[in-house]
Amino acid sequence: MARPRYRYRIYILTMLVLVGSGVLMTQLHDFQINRQDEFRKLVPTNYEVQIREPGVRGEIIDRNGVVLAKNNRNYQLIFNLKEIHQDYLQQFWQDHKGEKDAKPPGIVEIINQWVRPKLAQQGIDAKYSASAMEGHYLTHGGLIPFIFRDDLSYDQFAHFAEHNLELPGVYVTVTPRRIYPYGSLASHCLGYLKQWAKGDVPPEFKHYTGDPKGISGIEATMDQYMRGSQGIRTILKNEKGKNLRVVDYLKPSQGSEVQLTLDARIQYLTETVLRRAGRAAAVVMDPRTGEVLAMASVPDFNPNDFIPNITSKRYAEYRDNKSAPFLNRAISNFPPASTFKIPTAITAAINGLHGMDCDCKGYTPYGKAKIRCWKTWGHGVLGIKEAIQRSCNPYFMKIAKTVGTAKMVESYSMLGLGQPTGIRLPRESAGILPGSIDWQRRYRNKVMTNALTGMLAIGQGDSEATPLQMAALISAVANGGKLYQPRIVREVSHPDLGIQISNRPKLKTNLIQQGLAPVQLQNIREGMRLAAHKIGGTARRATPDGIIIGAKTGTAQTTDLGIKTHVAWTVAFAPFDNPRYVVVVAVKRGGSGGKVAGPLVKLILTGLFAQEEGHKLPLKKQQPYIGNTDLISEISLPDDNPLAAAFLADGETGEEASAIVVIHPEPEEPEDLPLPTIRAEIDPRGSVIPSAIPIPE
C-alpha cells in the first residue's frame, strides 16, 4: 500500500518541477527576447563617435608673398548639450525613482550646477550667454556642439585633454581661426567671414562643426576655392562618455591659396595717404596689365573684429558711423566731374573730330539757358591740348553737340563706363551713363536733350563713375590705347591640385583699332601733361618733384547728408614717357580736385618712385580709421614730410566747379550689405558663480 503514496509524491514533485521550469522559461524568454533591448542598454558598452572638423581655409597673399590672411590654431571647449542632458536625466530618474513630483532642472541649471563646478576646478570656467545656449539646444539639439569657450590657451587645452573629467558631452577641440596680420590693411579688398549656419548637416555626424563663409571682399568671391576639405575624427568612448582612443582620423586639408595683384607696401602707402581725408577712395593700377596694385577706401574696418564673431557693441559702432566704413568707395559711384572730359576727348577723336578749336566765351547756350565755364570771362580760342589743360567746359560741350547723343553714349560704353568692370569683388557699382539703356530704365520720364548730353561731356548731371572705372580708362590713355579689364586676383593654387586660376592681362578694347589715331591719343596725353606742369594747369599740385606726369582734376557739386558740397577728383599716370602707374583719388566733401585730391596723388606718386629708387616702403599693422564728414578746403603738405615736395609756384589753378548740382548723390551704404555673425552677450543666468548640487552617482 506504500507504493501509491510514493507515486503521488513523485507526481507532485514532477508537477512542481515542470511548473517551475515553465515559469523560469517564461522569465528567460521575457528577459532574453522581449526585454533584451532594455537590458542591453544596462550592459556597459563602448561606442564610436564621429566628429567633423572644418577644413583649413587657404591663405591670401599679396603679389610678393606677404601673407594678408592666414589661420592660427584655436582651442575650444565645446558642449554636446544633448549628451549632457540625457546623461544627467538618466541618473536623475534613477535617484528619484517612484517620486511622481520630481522635476529635473533645465539645461542651463544642469550646466551651471553640474558641469561648470568641475570646469572651475580645472580653471577653465567662464561666463556665457545662457539664452544663446538654450536657443542653440532647441535649434540644433546634439548635432551641432555649443561653443562654451573659444579662447583656451594651449596649456589649458592640453591639461583638459590629459585629465579627462568624465563629463559626457564636454570636449576640447582644435580649429583653425582666421587672422589678418595687418589689421585693417586692405580690409575692403579682403572682406570678412561669417560663421556657418546649420544648413544640410550630414546624418552620420553626432558632432558637427561647419566652415566659416566669406560674405565680403575676396573672402566671398573666392570662398569656393579657399575652403578646405573636412576632417573626420572617430573616437571610441565608454559607457560613461570617457574617450578611450582615436579609432580613425582623416586630417582636414588646406584650401587653395589666393594671390592678389596688390602690393602690400603700396597698399599701406595709399591707405596712409588717404587718411588725410575723411571719406575717400584711391586706386593704383599698373597700366601695362590692368593689375590693381592698391585699392583703398576710407574709413575702413578691422576684419579681425568678425572672428569668430563680432560683439553687438562693436558692430553698432561700425553700423552707426555716418562715414560708412563698410562701403568700398573704390568700386562705388561718384559724380565724375571734369575727369569725364578725357573720355569725351577720346570720343571726339574716334568720331573724326581732329584739330577742332573752340572760342570759349565763358558759357555754352542751350536755348535760353547758359551752362557756364568755371572761368566766367572765358578762355578764348582753345585746341584739345589747352582745353584739357585748363578744363574748359564749352570746348567739351561743343564736342557733345557735334558728335551727338548716340555716338557719345556708344563711345562711353566702349570705354567701360556705365557697366561693372568685372573685377572679382562683390557689389561693384556700374556707374550711371546718361542715355544708356540702364539709365532709361532707371529714369523713365527723362529724355536725353542736347543740354543733358553736354553735361555728360563734362561729367555732370546724372553721370556717375567709380574710381576703378576711371583707373582702367586712364590706363588706356597711358599705355597707348589698350583698355584692360582690371584684375585683383593674380593666381589661385592648391597644394595638391596645382594652379587652378592664372589670370593674365585681358584686353577688352583696343582703342586704336576702334579709330583712335595715335596722334590724337598723344594730343590727349599732352593735354594731361600740360595740366600737371604748365601755368594754368588744373593738376599742378599732383606733380611730384622731378617726375613728369599726365593728370586731370575734377570738382563736382553734389549733395551729401543734406548739404551742398563737392567731390574732388584727380586722375594721373606716371612717368609720362613710360607709364608704370596710374593713380586715381576721389574725396567726398573735397573743396576742389586740385587742392584736395591733387596733393594726395602727389604723395602716393612720391612714395612709388621713392620705392623704385631703393627706399623700402613701410608695412605695419593698421588700426581701423573711423573717418569723418568734415569739409576739406585744401590739403597742405609740410616741407618736412618725407613723402611731400614743396608746392609749385602758384599761378592760374583752374579749380573749376560747375554750377550744375548732381541730382543723385552717392549712396552711403550698399543696400544688400551682408550681416555678420553677432556674438551673444553674457546674460545674468550665464554670469552666476557655479555652485555644485548633489551630483547623481
Nearest to 136 by CA among 99, 85, 94: 85
pLDDT surpasses 70 at 342? yes
How much is the pLDDT for 511?
A: 97
At 80, list the grid cell.
554636446
| Percent of the chain surpassing pLDDT 70 | 87
Q: Which residues of 313-323 are buried (b: 16+ CB within 10 A; e: fewer)?
A: ebbebbeebeb
Q: Which three cell numbers, joined as nine digits, stand for 488?
A: 585683383
Length of the chain: 697
Mean pLDDT over 312-334 rounds to 93
Q: What is the pLDDT of residue 231?
A: 82
**Exposure class string for 83-108: b at 16+ Cβ within 10 A, else e:** bbbebbeeebeeeeeeeeeeeebebb
Q: How many Å separate Cα 552 from the centre of its chain?
A: 31
- For residues 520-532, average pLDDT: 97
Q: Calculate the average pLDDT of the chain.
A: 86
Q: Which CATH superfamily is domain 47-97+107-258 in?
A: Penicillin-binding protein 2a (Domain 2) (3.90.1310.10)
Q: Where are the domains of the chain?
A: 47-97+107-258, 264-612
Question: Taking 50 as the threshold, does the pLDDT of residue 663 lie above it?
Answer: no
φ/ψ of 117, rounded to 5, equals -55, -40
Determine the pLDDT at residue 28. Answer: 76
Q: What is the pLDDT of residues 5-62, one digit of tens each?
A: 667 777 777 787 777 777 787 777 766 676 666 666 666 678 777 777 778 899 999 9
Does 671 or 542 have the greater pLDDT score? 542
Contact 552, 583 (CB under 8 A): no
Question: How high is the pLDDT of residue 645?
Answer: 34
Residue 280's SS3 state is: strand
- Looking at the predicted structure, is the pLDDT value of residue 627 above 60? yes
What is the reported pLDDT for 423?
Answer: 97
Q: Give tens-digit pLDDT for 494-519.
A: 999 999 999 899 999 999 999 999 99
The percentage of the chain sitting over the pLDDT mark of 90, rounded to a whole number, equals 55
Mean pLDDT highest for which of 54-58, 135-139, 467-471?
467-471
The predicted structure's pLDDT at residue 654: 42
Note the pLDDT of residue 206.
54
Predicted confidence band of residue 205 (pLDDT cuts 50, 70, 90)? low
461, 452 contact by CB (below 8 A)? yes
What pairs with residue 295 in β-bridges?
Answer: 283
- DSSP code of 54? P
For residue 80, the model assigns a pLDDT of 87
**380-408: average pLDDT:** 94
What residue spans of 282-359 are helical by DSSP H? 312-319, 341-350
pLDDT beyond 80 at 656: no
pLDDT at position 695 is: 43
Find the mean pLDDT for residues 634-658: 49
Q: What is the pLDDT of residue 694?
A: 44
Contacts 24+ apart (CB under 8 A), 442-446: none
Q: Which residues pair with 285 in a beta bridge?
A: 292, 582
- Quote the pLDDT of residue 305: 94
More confident residue, 204 or 61: 61
pTM for the structure as a whole: 0.85
Q: Does 524 score more than 80 pLDDT? A: yes
3-class secondary-structure state, position 174: strand
Would you say residue 676 has pLDDT above 50?
yes
Tell me the H-state helices in 432-568.
Answer: 437-442, 450-457, 467-479, 518-533
- Does position 643 have pLDDT exceeding 60, yes or no? no
Report residue 696's pLDDT band, with 50, 70 and 90 as the boundaries. Answer: very low
**264-612: in CATH 3.40.710.10:** yes
Residues that are catalytic: 338
Q: How confident is the model at residue 258 (pLDDT cuts 50, 70, 90)?
A: very high
CA–CA dist 457, 475 (Å, integer) = 20
Which residues does residue 518 pair with via DSSP β-bridges, in sequence order? none
Whether the pLDDT of residue 640 is over 70: the answer is no
